[in-house]
């Protein structure tokens, strides 16, 4: 084989590696991101949520990019909507 050329087996191997990365890493991450975006769109006042930093609270008011979160009696914080990791089931 000459120096600097690819044989067909090398090209097939490279394509297979790229395909494996796509199906094992990129596709599941894309699905998870879409599910998170859907969950954020469906938020409503009164939902109990957990933030990515571990704070639990109840949604009081929803704005475009922020949420007013009640974490205790008379204690409300404003957080980024993207920081909500999940909605808690009743």
Please report, for the chain, the start and end positions of each structural domain, with discontinuous segments joined by +: 1-42, 44-90
State the CB neighbour count (10 A cutoff) for residue 31: 10
Q: How many angstroms separate the CA atoms of 42 and 55, rounded?
A: 20
According to the model, what pLDDT value does residue 90 have? 72
Q: How many angstroms separate the CA atoms of 68 and 75, rounded?
A: 10
- What is the pTM assigned to this prediction? 0.72
pLDDT band at 89 (very low <50, low <70, confident <90, very high): confident
Residue 4's region, left for phi above 0, alpha for psi from -120 to 50, else beta, is left
Residue 4 has pLDDT above 80, yes or no: no
CATH number of 44-90: 2.30.30.100
According to the model, what pLDDT value does residue 16 have? 94
Question: Which residue did the predictor score with more confidence, 47 or 7?
Answer: 47
């Amino acid at each position: 084989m000459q120096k600097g050329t690819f044989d067909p087996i090398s090209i097939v191997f490279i394509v297979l590696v790229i395909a494996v990365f796509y199906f094992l890493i990129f596709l599941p991450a894309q699905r998870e991101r879409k599910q998170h975006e859907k969950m954020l769109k469906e938020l409503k006042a009164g939902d109990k949520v957990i933030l990515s930093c571990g704070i639990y609270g109840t949604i009081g008011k929803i704005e475009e990019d922020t949420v007013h979160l009640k974490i205790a009696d008379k204690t409300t914080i404003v957080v980024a909507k993207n920081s909500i990791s999940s909605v808690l089931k009743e």
